[in-house]
Amino acid sequence: MKWSLGRLLAGALCVIIGIVILVVGIIAVEPNGENSIRDVYDVWTVTNHNNMHKIAVACNVWRDTKGEGVYYPSSLGVLLDDGIVHDPRIFVWSRNGSALKEGTCVSDYDSMFDRAGFRIRKDSVEDWLPLAWDRTPFQLNYAGTDYTSVVFFDGHTELLSDSVRRRLLDRVDTWIEQNKNK
């Protein structure tokens, strides 16, 4: 059987088409750079929410052991000072690059306690009231908007858009004004 130029070109064309299909298939199956970036942000978010949940648990433990079952701590730093939290890294989120300082409570989170400036009673806490939230909103590259992680007194966490966070904090400020003299 003789190979003609036409058969060789047809065979080469089939090989090229096969390679192109293979490359397109690999690209479609493998995560591209944007997905990898999203995965990193997802890991950061999960770590952040885990730390925030630990903070909520620690605040409830402090309330039950040091706050006579009635009061929450006056700040997040009290959790370290009173030995409820033994690892200060739960207050720092690696995404922010914050550094721990010996003998101080460095936190990437704001809290109701610090914002209110008074001791919060268990019976005054409402379901919607956040316990702590990210000090600085962050942007998820794939979403194009700023987000804030928030933990509530019952320990559940949510990822809120910055506009929702601002409305929530406006409600918090109103709640503080209504409860500061009680």
Other residues' Cβ atoms within 10 Å of the Cβ of residue 179: 16
Instruction: Supply the pLDDT for residue 5.
Output: 55
Q: What pLDDT score does 61 carry?
A: 94
CB neighbours of 106 closer than 8 A, spacing ≥ 6?
88, 91, 92, 98, 99, 100
Q: What is the reported pTM? A: 0.70
Q: To the nearest 5 percent, what fractions of the chain are helix, strand and coil?
A: 55, 15, 35
Which of the two residues, 43 and 154, has the higher pLDDT score? 154
Q: Is the pLDDT of residue 71 over 90?
A: yes
The SS3 of residue 29 is helix
Average pLDDT, rounded, for the chain: 78
Residue 51 has pLDDT above 90, yes or no: no
